[in-house]
Amino acid sequence: MARLSGVLVNHPTLDTIQISPTLHMHDRWFCRFLLHSCDPNLAIDTSTMEVRAAREIEPGDYLSIDYAATEDVLGRQFACGCGSPRCRGWMTGRREQPNEEGRAWLANKATARTSND
Ligand SMILES: [Zn+2]
């Protein structure tokens, strides 16, 4: 579908893709348009920086990737609202635990689920 390109930096931002444990590529033209989804329609091969369709993409669909697939640590953790049945709820990088806000959010979610059963 596309190939990302940009400037290498040593810290994550909202416009970077992690390409090694210490390097992130800042692509201000494309990365900011890739939303997060726990069931994304795109995948990024960080060895070639190619962006490929992970499943069928319909006209009007938002383009999405799974931020946890590339990022060890997110610039900012957040409650996911992707709506997928596979939604993990609270988004972290693949090598970090939920922060204090995330633990509270997950505890509230578990309490709501228990009281609805
Ligand atoms: Zn989600």
Q: What is the CATH number of domain 2-116?
A: 2.170.270.10
Query: Distance from the CA of 3 to the center of ligand 1, in angstroms?
Result: 25
Cα radius of gyration (the chain) = 15
- For residue 116, pLDDT over 70 is answered with no
Domain boundaries in the chain? 2-116
Query: Distance from the CA of 87 to the center of ligand 1, in angstroms?
Result: 4
Q: Identify the three-state secondary structure at position 69.
A: helix
Instruction: Return the pLDDT at 50.
Output: 92
- Tokens for 6? 């940009």
111's enclosing H/E stretch is: helix 100-116
Q: How confident is the model at residue 106 (pLDDT cuts 50, 70, 90)?
A: very high
Query: Distance from the CA of 81 to the center of ligand 1, in angstroms?
Result: 5
DSSP 8-state code for residue 93? -
What is the mean predicted confidence (pLDDT) over 19-33?
Answer: 87
- For residue 1, pLDDT over 80 is answered with no
- For residue 117, pLDDT over 70 is answered with no
What is the mean predicted confidence (pLDDT) over 28-38?
Answer: 87
